[in-house]
């Protein structure tokens, strides 16, 4: 399996296109997109707890666009520090904050301002002072080395061209014995080079 993008892939263009798409999701979650969204999709297709989702503001859950359920991998312990890479509007982030409780921390990292704004407003609405939303990317996490118990991510790493750098960052921020709970897209076959160079295919 290739974990490096083609050397001539325009990664700046790819980043800009991804940012544009998710800014549109934040602005109009009911718009036309190639991927599923919303709390009903999360509960029915990805087996999120519908009761838990209902405690979150609609402004958060309506922009949910994950591909799996990182919370189903293992419970997040009370008092843990969790980082959500590509936290978007905050569904997984706020659920993490509820699970770790007020003695824990839930740090969301996202590169799209409109998504960060939704997550911050959602955390304030829920009174989750343990939520900290930061601007950043998977390849340069704005998080201290060795400070995190658990890294979660949902449908984000497949969009990152520099996967080695992203994995190295996860390793850097985790404490010894920390763990990773990732839901993402995995291909069963190697894509041809022309497909791997196609930004439209990367983004949808």
Q: In Å, how far are 51, 93, 133 from 18, measured between CA atoms?
A: 31, 20, 19
pLDDT tens-digit series, residues 37-94: 999 999 999 999 999 999 999 999 999 999 999 999 999 999 999 999 999 999 999 9
What distance in Å separates the CA atoms of residue 85 and residue 42, rounded to the nearest whole number? 18
Per-residue tokens: 148: 């995190």
Q: Give the global pTM.
A: 0.87
Q: What is the mean pLDDT of residues 173-180?
A: 97
Q: What are phi and psi of 5, to 5 degrees?
A: -80, 165
* CATH top-level class of 11-184: alpha beta
What distance in Å separates the CA atoms of residue 36 and residue 10, rounded to the nearest whole number? 26
Q: In Å, how far are 13, 42, 147, 194, 195 from 201, measured between CA atoms?
A: 13, 24, 35, 10, 7
Sorting pLDDT into bands at 50, 70 and 90, what band is 1? Answer: very low
In this prediction, residue 2 carries a pLDDT of 47
Q: In Å, how far are 10, 121, 152, 182 from 128, measured between CA atoms?
A: 39, 10, 18, 23
Q: What is the mean pLDDT of residues 104-110?
A: 98
- Which sequence spans correspond to the domains of the chain? 11-184
Higher pLDDT residue, 15 or 102?
102
Q: Minimal CA–CA distance to 77: which of 44, 111, 43, 106?
A: 106
């Amino acid at each position: 399996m290739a974990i490096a993008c083609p050397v001539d892939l325009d990664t700046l263009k790819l980043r800009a296109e991804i940012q544009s798409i998710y800014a549109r999701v934040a602005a109009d979650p009911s718009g036309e997109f190639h991927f599923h969204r919303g709390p009903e999709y999360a509960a029915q297709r990805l087996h999120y707890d519908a009761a838990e989702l209902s405690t979150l503001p609609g402004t958060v859950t309506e922009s949910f666009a994950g591909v799996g359920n990182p919370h189903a991998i293992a419970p997040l312990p009370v008092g843990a520090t969790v980082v959500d890479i590509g936290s978007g509007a905050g569904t997984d982030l706020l659920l993490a904050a509820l699970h770790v409780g007020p003695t824990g921390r839930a740090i969301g990292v996202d590169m799209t301002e409109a998504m960060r704004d939704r997550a911050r407003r959602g955390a304030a609405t829920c009174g989750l002072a343990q939520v900290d939303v930061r601007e950043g990317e998977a390849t340069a996490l704005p998080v201290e080395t060795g400070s995190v118990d658990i890294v979660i991510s949902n449908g984000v790493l497949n969009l990152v061209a520099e996967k080695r750098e992203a994995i190295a960052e996860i390793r850097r921020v985790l404490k010894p014995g920390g763990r990773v709970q990732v839901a993402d897209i995995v291909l069963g076959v190697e894509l041809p080079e022309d497909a791997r160079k196609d930004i439209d295919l990367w983004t949808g």
